[in-house]
Amino acid sequence: MKTALSFDDVLLVPGYNDIKSRSDVTLETYVAGVDLHLPIIAANMPSVCEADMAIALADAGGMGIVHRMQSIKSQCDQVIAASMHRSVGGAIGIGNDWKVRAETLIGAHASIICLDVAHGHQQRVMEVALEFLDSYKLPLIIGNVATGHSARHFASEINDLDHSRVALKVGVGGGSVCTTRIKTGFGVPTLQSVMDVYEVLDDLNSDISIIADGGVKCSGDIVKALASGADAVMLGSLLAGTREAPGDVIKDDKTGLKYKVYRGAASYGAKKAHFGEAEYVEGAERLVPYKGSVDKTLHTLADGIKSGLTYCGVDNLTDLLDEAEFIRITEAGYKESLPHGIYGA
């Protein structure tokens, strides 16, 4: 059997650095032709991205994808509000209303449409994607996929001229509130998926972009994802619990601590809220500490990514991809990477 690597299985090897300051590092990238100054996209999840989060991401140079687990009007009102701050996306499904939702989002000035399906490597997704690309000029994110084979399939079916306005959302089962791998037994570690998809697209000389989605726990994981071929990362848990994330702040009267609810898009709570029932779920929900403004989180992540690039001796993401060298580490190596030896521990 093939060994599949996750973020914690590898490290990047430090290289010679002549960069004076991480402030000299640029994080500019593009996803399906949409220019970003921060390679971070807010996940299209009900407890992560609505108008406030999309606005905050746009102001920081990234992008938010407003989720589809709501009425078309509600989603489009949020996209309209966010569109005044430059880039914002809207998610659609593959149901009978996909075209109505897509056209309404386009009319609401969405910068990009996200075709949101848990298992994206299927015939119906291909049909909708091809019809969308043939009918509209807007960029399209297709997800989620997990293998080089899926990337080759989409690349071969999509007209070469359209590759530059397509992105693949890569990752199945890696989200912190996703239970797909437990419920179904299927999935691939996100880092491995990104490496496999990039290898295929690079071999085809394809302009299709890659978004790493799931399993990112810290800025170091973001650097690893970008170094392995991703053009941007999609974040859920790292942005959940912030002021801009949807949902009320919950206060524990005994401790005084504050929380917000973080739900998987296929969790009981999310499905119940949108569909009125939830017979089968592939997502969990939990309370996460309230973090205050997402601006602080994004600033911290951006600093970590920039610092990571200086360890590689590069000042941009293109050079990171060219110069990065991965090594595989043991469990002992991973433990050494964590804080240890403090106060005699």
CA distance 218 to 114: 24
CA distance 101 to 116: 12
In-domain check, residue 272: yes
In-domain check, residue 1: no
pLDDT, tens digit (0-9, with 9 covering 90-100), for 45-98: 999 999 999 999 999 999 999 999 999 999 999 999 999 988 999 999 999 999
Helices (H), 13-86: 51-60, 72-83
Task: Return the CATH number at 215.
Answer: 3.20.20.70
- Residue 96: asked if its preceding bond is cis (omega within 30°), the reply is no
Our answer to whether residue 178 is catalytic in this structure is yes
Phi-psi region of 87 (alpha: psi -120 to 50; beta: other; left: phi over 0): beta
In-domain check, residue 61: yes
Contact 232, 211 (CB under 8 A): yes
Query: In the chain, where do the E strands start and end?
Result: 10-12, 29-31, 34-36, 40-42, 63-66, 89-92, 112-116, 140-145, 166-170, 209-213, 232-235, 250-251, 258-263, 285-289, 326-328
Give the Cα-Cα-Cα angle 16, 219, 304 (nearest 5 degrees): 55
pLDDT, tens digit (0-9, with 9 covering 90-100), for 182-193: 999 999 999 999
pLDDT, tens digit (0-9, with 9 covering 90-100), for 151-194: 999 999 999 999 999 999 999 999 888 888 899 999 999 999 99
Question: What pLDDT is attached to residue 345?
Answer: 46
The per-residue DSSP string of 124-154 comes to HHHHHHHHHHHH--S-EEEEEE-SHHHHHHH
Contact 222, 272 (CB under 8 A): no
Q: How many residues does the chain have?
A: 345
In order of 70, 91, 296, 331, the CA distances from 233 in angstroms are 24, 16, 18, 25
Question: What pLDDT is attached to residue 213?
Answer: 97
Token look-up 């590069």 returns 314
Domain that holds residue 327: 7-344
pLDDT, tens digit (0-9, with 9 covering 90-100), for 110-136: 999 999 999 999 999 999 999 999 999
The sheet with strand 250-251 has its strands ordered as 250-251, 258-263, 285-289
For the chain, what is the mean pLDDT? 93
As for how many domains the chain has, the answer is: 1
> What element of type H or E holds 308?
helix 294-312
Picking from 94, 35, 33, 34, the residue whose alpha carbon sits closest to that of residue 68 is 94
Whole-number CA gyration radius for the chain: 20
Token look-up 């969990």 returns 284
Q: Treating both helix axes as pointing N-terminal to C-terminal, what angle do 148-157 and 123-135 enclose, rounded to 10 degrees?
A: 40
Determine the longest span between alpha carbons in the chain, in angstroms: 64
Q: How confident is the model at residue 277 (pLDDT cuts 50, 70, 90)?
A: low
Bigger pLDDT: 34 vs 285: 34
Pairing relationship of beta strands 250-251 and 258-263 according to DSSP bridges: antiparallel
In-domain check, residue 338: yes
In-domain check, residue 2: no
Q: 117-153 in b/e burial notation, b at 16+ Cβ within 10 A? A: bebbbeeebbebbeebbeeeebbbbbbbbbbbebbbe
- Selecting among 114, 178, 218, 312, the annotated active-site residue is 178
In-domain check, residue 56: yes
Q: What is the pTM of this model?
A: 0.93
Contact 295, 61 (CB under 8 A): no
In-domain check, residue 85: yes
In-domain check, residue 161: yes
Torsion from C-alpha of 151, 156, 157, 163, nearest 10 degrees: 70
